[in-house]
């Protein structure tokens, strides 16, 4: 799964990397992005790519209660095309979720967990494959998202059995293209994604608390 990550790039870096023409409203960085927070995402509105904030934790348009979002921070790519919550979103509401690393907790033999910060080895910035939706309620519209995951690759298996899908640069525009994509087509697209190599290092348990959001979160532990 993916439950925490970082987004520390400058706004201009993001605009340049993803080919965004408009400034990002309310832009901010984070050492410790957590579920329930507003996260930087990119969609294509049919005319241009746009970057803005979605709340992390998908609330489907048909949901009765927005609290469902806390259970839907991730979506399994292997079965998303079969699930009512995600099937239609795969067709028309695909997004990129911008990050520069993510955290995962490796379970030790004694039952404790060691947090690790994980990078794409050859890229400073990257994007998770995501889905988004709009939920209408009395106070206005709520825009939310989820990160797609899959079985861990050889590198990640040593840390966790699941991994977020990080799109190769050449596949980002295809993923958010405004044209309709059949759910099974999106499913096959995700199955065939070959992720770039990853690297990781240990960080302290300081990152465990979502309220902690400073440089100490990413500081490498001494060997």
Q: Would you please indicate which residues are annotated as catalytic (active-site) residues?
A: 2, 104
Q: What is the largest CA-CA distance in the chain?
A: 53
Q: Report the C-alpha dihedral over residues 6, 9, 15, 19, rounded to 10 degrees.
A: -60
DSSP-derived 3-state class of residue 142: strand
**What letter does residue 71 receive in the DSSP assignment?**
G
Sorted by sequence, the CB contacts under 8 Å of residue 185 that are 6+ apart come out as: none
Using alpha carbons, select from 217, 13, 10 the residue that is nearest to residue 115: 217
| β-pairing verdict for 198-202 and 113-120 | antiparallel
**146 exposed, middle or buried (CB, 10 Å; 0-12, 13-18, 19+)?**
buried
The full 3-state SS of 8-58, as one line of letters, equals CCCHHHHHHHHCCCCCCCCCCCEEEECCCCEEEEEEECCCCEEEEEEEECC
């Amino acid at each position: 799964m993916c439950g925490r990550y970082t987004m520390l790039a400058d706004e201009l870096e993001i605009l340049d990397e993803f080919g965004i023409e408009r400034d990002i409203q309310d832009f901010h960085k984070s050492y410790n992005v957590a579920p329930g927070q507003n996260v930087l995402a990119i969609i294509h509105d049919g005319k241009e790519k746009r970057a803005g904030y979605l709340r992390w934790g998908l609330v489907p348009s048909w949901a009765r209660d927005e609290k469902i979002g806390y259970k839907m921070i991730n979506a399994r790519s292997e079965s998303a095309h079969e699930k009512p919550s995600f099937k239609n979103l795969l067709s028309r509401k695909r997004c990129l979720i911008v990050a520069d690393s993510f955290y995962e907790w490796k379970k030790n033999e004694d039952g404790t967990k060691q947090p690790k910060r994980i990078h794409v080895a050859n890229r400073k910035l990257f994007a998770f494959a995501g889905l988004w939706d709009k939920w209408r309620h009395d106070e206005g519209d709520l825009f939310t998202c989820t990160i797609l995951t899959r079985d861990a690759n050889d590198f990640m298996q040593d840390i966790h059995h699941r991994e977020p899908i990080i799109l190769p640069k050449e596949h980002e525009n295809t993923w958010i293209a405004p044209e309709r994509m059949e759910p099974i087509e999106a499913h096959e697209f995700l199955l065939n994604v070959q992720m770039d190599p990853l690297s990781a290092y240990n960080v302290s348990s300081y990152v465990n608390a979502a309220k902690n959001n400073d440089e100490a979160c990413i500081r490498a532990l001494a060997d």
